[in-house]
Amino acid sequence: MKRVVRGSRIVLVALALLGTGMSQAVADSPAEEFERDAEEAIGKMQEGLSDVQKSLENLIESLPRYGLPRFDDDGNIVIERHDQKPQQDENAGPDEETPEI
């Protein structure tokens, strides 16, 4: 009787281990593992492309913008920058008037 009990215990433990192994094998089938890896790769690619897009937008914003070329009264070709702040005359003084005390 002891042999039968021991033998049945071993069989039960073996079946339990096989059962968890089989369920693990079924849960991680190659198709599911591939799908999970593909979804992870797609997510990483989307993050990377988003970073590239932001970098390109920053680059475009930092580039100077120019108007159409034109001739001035002296015959010179003038191409104005649209994003350039007007240059101040060194002798003109500050833009805001400072109150005198």
Average pLDDT, the chain: 77
What residues contact 14, with CB distance under 8 A and at least 6 apart? none
CB 42 within 8 A of CB 62: no
Nearest C-alpha neighbor of 70 from the set 82, 59, 78, 62? 78
Domain boundaries, the chain: 29-85
pTM over 0.75: no
The amino acid at residue 31 is A
Q: How confident is the model at residue 49 (pLDDT cuts 50, 70, 90)?
A: very high
- Span 50-77, pLDDT tens digits: 999 999 999 998 888 888 999 999 999 9
What residues contact 81, with CB distance under 8 A and at least 6 apart? 64, 65, 66, 67
- Span 71-97, pLDDT tens digits: 999 999 999 988 756 556 555 555 555
